[in-house]
Each structure stands twice: as structure tokens, then as C-alpha cells.
Amino acid sequence: MNIEELSEAVYEDLNGRIVSADHQDDRVTLVYECDYWEDPDKRVSFLLRCSEVAETTACPGVSGDLWWTSEHPLLLNHNHQHGSLFFTSKPANLHGVVGVLYQTHEDLFQGWRPLRDHINHCGKTHEILASGNGLLARGPIPLLELYQKSVQRLIKTNIVNSYTPDGGCRAIIFEDSFVICKEVEVSQQTG
């Protein structure tokens, strides 16, 4: 079985859980077990060997879901060009800009990443905005474009490109954790 097949077979009602997580350099080895989808009275266990790991939060715990994907907001940091979003005007409503940025961020990430991962936090955001110009945010260009669009009526902004990560990452999304990597080898455990 490969990771695509396992991802298709596992669903929430199978009482899944990450039994163990071993993190070493750019490799993560997980033991994932769940009720067997062909016979719910049996449990099945899988060893997931993740290589070229870029980021992970996976740790032992309940995880009904297991989803292998190349399309998730968590992947933006690893698969898209990065840049900086600068502003060049003082908004009339400083807190309004912060609120719009927060809502845009939450709409995209759904709680998977905090706003502070991307917004300029070298001081209070409303005080930074009060200066009339400076860095507003850093991150992947698709995110910065969303921020820019969301505040376009409130403040003047421009995006400056910086670097492009290696890319090619995919994600295993568990219930409330993840592994972002390039490859996953799956083997069924016996016994």
C-alpha cells in the first residue's frame, strides 16, 4: 500500500491515532493505527517513513483523519515564491486594517498558522501602520496577494519578491497536526 491508497482508505470514523512519532533531521517516522476499513472489528497499524521533511507538528494522539495532499494552505510556505508586502500610506482606520488582515489570514489558514507567522511583529501592528510606511508582512506571494487585495481600499501597498523555496512538497494532514515532506513510504505493521 502507498500513501495515496492509505489516504483514500482512512476516514474519520475509523478511530485513528498516531501511536508514535520519531523526528530525526529531515526524516519523520510515524506509527499510525486505526480500525480496519474492511473489518471494523480489527485494528491495523502502518509505519509511515517521511523523507525530506520541511516542517512537522505530528506527535502521538488521536487523529481520525489522514489526508495526503498537494493542495493545502500549509504548503504555501514551501512551494511558492516568497516576498515582502510594504505599505506606503497611513490608513484612516489603523485597527480596521489589522482586522481585515486577520480575517483574510483566518479565512485562508483556518487556524493552521497564526497571523504572527507572516505579519510584521516588530512592534504593535497598529503603531507600525501609523508610521505611514514600512513592512506589513512577509511570506509566500499568494498569501501576500490576498493580504494586498483585502486592504486595497484602506492602504497603498506593493509586493517585492525575494526567494523561492525548493518546492515539491506535499502534506499529510492529520486531525490537528501535519507533516510536510516530499516522500512517504508506507508499510503495514503485523502482529
Closest CA to 181 of 191, 189, 171: 171
Q: Could you give the 3-state DSSP secondary structure of residue 119?
A: strand
**Could you tell me whether strands 183-189 and 61-62 are parallel, antiparallel, or unpaired per DSSP bridges?**
unpaired
Give yes or no for a contact between 64 and 13, defined as CB atoms under 8 angstroms apart: yes
Query: Tens-of-pLDDT digits for all 191 residues of the chain?
Result: 999 999 999 998 999 999 999 999 999 999 999 999 999 899 999 999 999 999 999 999 999 889 999 999 999 999 999 999 999 999 999 999 999 999 999 999 999 999 999 999 888 888 899 999 999 999 999 999 999 999 999 999 999 999 999 999 999 999 999 999 999 999 998 75
Domain ranges of the chain: 3-75+169-189, 81-161
- Residue 122 and residue 112: Cα distance in Å, rounded? 22
In the block, cell 501576500 appears at 144
81-161: in CATH 3.30.70: no
Helix %, strand %, coil % for the chain, to 5? 30, 40, 35
Task: Read off the pTM.
Answer: 0.92
Q: Could you give the 3-state DSSP secondary structure of residue 114?
A: coil
- How many C-beta atoms lie closer than 10 Å to residue 94's C-beta? 18
- Residue 1 and residue 102: Cα distance in Å, rounded? 41
